[in-house]
Structure 1
Amino acid sequence: MSITSDRPATVDTEPVTPGLTDARWTDGPGGYTGVEPTAEWAEEVRRLARARNATLLAHNYQLPAIQDVADHVGDSLALSRIAAEVDADEIIFCGVHFMAETAKILSPEKRVLIPDERAGCSLADSITADELREWKAEHPDAVVVSYVNTTAEVKGLTDICCTSSNAVDVVASIDPDREVLFLPDQFLGAHVKRETGRDNIHIWAGECHVHAGINGDELADQANSHPDADLFIHPECGCATSALYLAGEGAVPEDKVKILSTGGMLDAARQTGAKQVLVATEIGMLHQLRKAAPGVDFQAVNERASCPYMKMITPAALLRSLREGRDEVFVADDVAERARQSVERMIAIGNPGTGE
């Protein structure tokens, strides 16, 4: 969806912050580097955002410095809904590409930038629009339910979207006699099937490579070595089924195992009575959890669970985006309209969730 804007690509309406006049960035395999997240950097980022009349959004999995400089931090759908509501000309979405697309879908009149357009998503890439068309042709009467972690084109072929926090409610709202095609995350799909008891749900074999890599063996080892800790587990994780098995076998008390979206983790963090919590999701989430409950010891189940795409939004990339007006996200009008309907149908069931 292309819009016309009179705002110049490069904005510099005030003197730049001292110390950053000659800031340069280098484009490498992991993204843009060469700029450190100093106090001067944060001041310059905020100055440029004001000059552009831009709102800075950062996903929970972003680098801590990016989270701290943002106007709003959260999960992808919540941030996209904020993007639609804020009074701003531009949205700078510090996340991965499908998230910036969703913001554009819900706020078509605004200019949406992602600091590095190469920041993709292994889960969103696990199903293409053509693959979904073929799958739908095999099940012509099925209802297509897509996780919001999908491309705009896939959302445009979807009947109703869902988040991890409302996926069970979305599927439960569908006529029990209708087949359901659930995509793309196989672990979230297994969670939905387990909770709803449906035997007519077909699940796409996609996964987030980071969450899939948090396995049941290391969860069991961590739980054994931290017997008093609560377990916060994202349903995209490969270890989610293992966690429920441990609870069912009595190896871990059932009340300590919580399958939660990122937004749900923050809510649970503020309410937990545990002194320690083991967290199974991307490690960027620890920053917000520790801010939400500073008296709790949050530890990653897998300290290597870092998304390289999320971490492509570096301090250098953000500064480059604000100075040069890059990289803009476009969604074709017809695709955006269909995708918007699938998101609105989700919201209409009464539980829009809080994102992934």
Structure 2
Amino acid sequence: MSAATYDQVRHVIPEVEWALFEPEIEAIQRLKREQDAVILAHNYMTPEVFHGVADIVGDSLALAREAQHVEAGTIVLAGVHFMAETAKLLNPGKRVLLPDLRSGCSLAESITPDDIAALRRAHPGVPVVTYVNTSAAVKAASDICCTSGNAVEVIESLGTQKVIMIPDQYLARNIAARTGVEVITHPGACEVHERFSPKDIDDIRDGHPGVTVIAHPECPPEVVAVSDFAGSTAQMIDFVTERKPLKVALITECSMSDNVAADHPDVEFVRPCNLCPHMKRNTLTAIRRALETGRNEITVDPALEVPARRAIERMLAVKTRPEAKDHS
């Protein structure tokens, strides 16, 4: 199995590196069988995790959906803390492990329930749409969750002319431009995506004529405006799979390019590299140790379980469209 996996990733992982990864991969596969465990991995995982040990991969929306159907008794969430909390909320009877408890998120840390209470007082009666990149406490104080992949449909499902959308100010502004709904924002941002600028896009186009630029909607609106396509990580993958651009730049966390490139060796990937330090804590060693020790188990305050789960389930009940915004 390991040799077959390496055939898939050999053009993104040098053979000398794979020789170091292989024993860890084999140990993790054995531990998964022994402990009735599955690994859910976000699209930002490094290729040896994404292709080597993950059972289910995807963006935040896909992982939330798939978490509902996991049959194994243990879930290892190779991502960040809020993702593991979401998996636990949807599987209260299962053990959920996070490889490294330091795997946080700048967006989740930018908002508190008190902030939501203040926004509700300032805007009475306006529904609160909360990005899934938040703590269980914040979800519990919200009306409905969303992801970058379904934010448009979630907001449209509410049938209102005004919403409070938290905490990512850039995602909120990009979604507002697509819905015609007035969006009240909060000054949160992703530490990876906020660093991209229109000049970065200009430099990429100058250095790589003919490149197709695909931006994540957590990027500033000025970046989205000069890109060819904007969408969640899952929608980015769909774009590359369906349209097969000869040359593409994914304006997002840089491991994403490696993972997509492994499946599309015929596409040339330009790699602007902004790393998420939290995602990168999910190493093979950390995953193996979590399975070996059972440490880093995620729990949720019982007082938060019902309201937080309700906000997530309301999101999952919204029918989503597969397409993202195309600027071409």
User: Normalized against structure 2, the TM-score is what?
Assistant: 0.88
* Aligned counterpart, 2:12: none
**Structure of greater relative contact order (alpha carbons < 8 Å, 6+ residues apart):** 1
- Residue 212 (str. 1) matches residue 176 (str. 2): no
Q: Is the 8 A contact 2:217 2:230 kept in 1?
A: yes
| 1:153 partner SS | helix
Q: Which residue of 1 aligns with 2:270?
A: 299
C-alpha deviations, 1:92-150, integer Å up to 9, x for none?
11110000000001111111000111110011111112222222222221100011111
Partner in structure 2 of residue 47 of structure 1: 30
Is 1:144–2:115 an aligned residue pair? no
Matches of 2:174 and 2:315, distance apart in 1: 18
Amino-acid identity (%)? 40
SS at match of 1:182: strand
| Matching residue's letter, 1:76 | S
Candidates 151, 169, 186, aligned match of 1:167: 151
Paired residue for 1:241, among 222, 226, 234? 222
Matched to 2:165, the amino acid is F
**Residues 352 and 47 (structure 1 numbering): CA distance in 2 closer, same or farther, change over 3 Å?**
farther
Counterpart in 1 of 2:233?
262
Q: Cα distance 1:273–1:94, how it changes in 2: closer, same or farther (>3 A)?
A: closer
Q: Which has the larger radius of gyration?
A: 1
1:207: Cα distance to partner?
0.2
Matched residue type, 1:73: V
1:113 maps to amino acid: L
Quote the RMSD (CA, aligned, Å).
1.8
Q: How many residues align?
A: 304
Structure 1 226/38 Cα, relative in aligned 2: closer, same or farther at 3 Å? closer
Q: Could you tell me how far apart the structure 1 residues matched to 2:28 and 2:266 are?
A: 31
Q: Which residue of 2 aligns with 1:272?
A: 243
Alignment match of 2:141 (pick from 157, 162, 180): 157
The answer to whether the aligner puts 1:124 opposite 2:95 as a matched pair is no
- Structure 1, unpaired ranges of 5+: 1-35, 248-256
Instruction: Note the residue ranges of structure 2 that are not aligned, 5 or more in a row.
Output: 1-18, 324-328
Given that 2:235 and 2:322 are in contact with CA atoms closer than 8 Å, whether structure 1 keeps it comes out as no
| Change beyond 3 A, Cα 1:37–1:141 | farther
Q: 1:56 touches 1:71 (CA, 8 Å); kept in 2?
A: yes
TM normalised by structure 1 equals 0.81
Q: Cα deviations across residues 219-252 of structure 1 (Å, max 9, x unaligned)?
A: 11112332311111100013x42342x47xxxxx
Contact residue 58 and residue 73 of structure 1 kept, 8 A = yes
2:211 is matched by which residue type in structure 1?
A: A
* Correspondence 1:323 to 2:304: no
Q: Deviations over 1:18-58 (max 9, x none)?
A: xxxxxxxxxxxxxxxxxx85322111111111111111111
- Secondary structure (helix, strand or coil) at the match of 1:149 reads coil
- Tell which deviates more after alignment, 329-338 or 182-191: 329-338
Aligned to 2:326: none
In structure 1, what residue type is equivalent to 2:206?
Answer: N
How much does 1:340 deviate?
A: 1.3
Structure number with higher helix proportion = 2
